[in-house]
């Protein structure tokens, strides 16, 4: 067990000798706020500048998913291309491979993960490897391995090497007994999907490692994330991505949720900016380790009406998927993110009209190029 080895190592150092011949002595884990990488108290996304010596060295796991590539682009603009390493177990497309450092990383292989952190002098780790809600229900054993066992490996490596660790959580971390409108940061959760259970586990384990080992753990509960340049990835909120593809391609869309199903949503630019801002926030400003963030809540019917303003002949029909609908009915209808707004200044830029305009403009230009070709 990596944590056991870590404790043995620290104990060995206190006695004046390494725990075993294969380990080199390292300083004991430092508690939050004592790291030389500490961000200044006046740090913010818009004003903080990093010198060449104190810029973070970043690893993103599960980097070929919906959020990883966009996050890598944002962080590379912020900290320099060579300081941000994207990783996954899949082969990347050429444009991603050539856009900056990319390596193979299997979070279920603890030794491989540890070597990457050591060899690349990683200081920040963004852990995006996970199976989403609907996909996880179709393969519970794989979801358990990736979402829970993989998390344990990441936590142990992060604690051992004093990393700042970000793990995303989700609206799926709540359940049918949670208050739904609005849902506060702290309340009964009790999710009924393996995805949700694994995310509650991640929140609690991260908080435990923070208090027990001084791990600088930070977590945001994302709403449904809508992005223009990615394909739906098996999540319950993915209808809000697919609708734009179908509206421009076919002029119609079949939705697998009921028209009145309200869920919290966010455009990806807001999501990625929030992720960077919470990682840059000074430690003393954080009153908790896991925060809700939100931008808007809408139903499929609301979204369709907004799309109709731009695509006058658009039609939506409903063929409800019972599994996804049951999942959606157990999730929050609206997030209370007042703590994030108070503690580290979170605010969103995109509401529903801006979201729809942005998505249709993006896919409309893609459609016109394809037709021209």
The rounded distance, in Å, linking the Cα atoms of 201 and 290 is 12
What are φ and ψ of residue 181, in 5° steps? -150, 90
The rounded distance, in Å, linking the Cα atoms of 310 and 36 is 51
What are the tokens at 78?
């912020």
8 Å CB contact between 147 and 132: no
Closest CA to 114 of 52, 26, 35: 26
239 an active-site residue?
no
8 Å CB contact between 148 and 198: yes
The rounded distance, in Å, linking the Cα atoms of 126 and 245 is 29
The rounded distance, in Å, linking the Cα atoms of 41 and 276 is 16
The rounded distance, in Å, linking the Cα atoms of 219 and 278 is 8
What are the tokens at 220?
């945001």
- Angle value at C-alpha 169, between 164 and 174, nearest 5 degrees: 145
Which strand (E) or helix (H) includes residue 255?
A: strand 252-255
What residues does 216 pair with on adjacent strands? 164
Q: 195, 209, 213, 222: which is the annotated catalytic residue? A: 195
Q: How far apart are the first and last CA of the chain?
A: 56
Residues labelled as active-site residues: 195
């Amino acid at each position: 067990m990596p944590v056991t080895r870590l404790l043995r190592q620290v104990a060995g150092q206190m006695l004046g000798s390494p725990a075993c011949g294969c380990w080199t002595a390292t300083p004991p884990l430092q508690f939050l706020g004592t790291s030389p990488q500490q961000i200044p108290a006046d740090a913010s996304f818009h004003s903080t500048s990093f010198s060449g010596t104190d810029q973070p060295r970043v690893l993103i796991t599960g980097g070929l998913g919906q959020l990883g590539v966009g996050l890598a682009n944002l962080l590379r603009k912020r900290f320099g291309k060579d300081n941000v390493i994207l990783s996954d177990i899949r082969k990347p497309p050429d444009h991603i491979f050539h856009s900056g450092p990319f390596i193979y990383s299997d979070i279920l292989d603890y030794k491989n993960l540890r070597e990457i952190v050591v060899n690349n002098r990683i200081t920040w780790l963004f852990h995006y490897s996970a199976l989403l809600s609907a996909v996880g229900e179709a393969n519970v054993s794989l979801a358990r391995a990736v979402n829970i066992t993989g998390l344990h490996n990441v936590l142990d490596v992060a604690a051992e090497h004093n990393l700042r660790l970000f793990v995303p959580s989700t609206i799926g971390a709540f359940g049918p007994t949670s208050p739904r409108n609005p849902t506060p940061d702290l309340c009964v959760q009790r999710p009924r999907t393996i995805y949700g259970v694994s995310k509650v586990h991640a929140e609690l384990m991260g908080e435990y490692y923070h208090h027990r080992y001084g791990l600088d753990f930070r977590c945001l509960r994302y709403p449904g994330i809508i992005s223009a340049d990615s394909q739906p990835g098996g999540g319950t909120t993915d209808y809000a991505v697919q609708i734009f593809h179908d509206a421009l391609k076919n002029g119609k869309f079949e939705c697998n949720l009921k028209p009145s199903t309200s869920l919290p949503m966010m455009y990806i630019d807001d999501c990625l900016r929030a992720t960077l801002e919470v990682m840059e926030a000074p430690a003393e400003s954080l009153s908790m380790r896991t925060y809700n963030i939100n931008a808007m809540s809408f139903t499929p019917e609301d979204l369709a009406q907004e799309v109709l303003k731009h695509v006058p002949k658009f039609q939506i029909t409903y063929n409800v998927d019972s599994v996804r609908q049951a999942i959606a009915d157990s999730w929050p209808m609206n997030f209370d993110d007042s703590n994030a707004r108070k503690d580290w200044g979170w605010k969103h830029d995109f509401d529903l009209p801006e979201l729809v305009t942005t998505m249709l403009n993006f896919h409309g230009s893609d459609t016109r190029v394809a037709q021209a070709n």
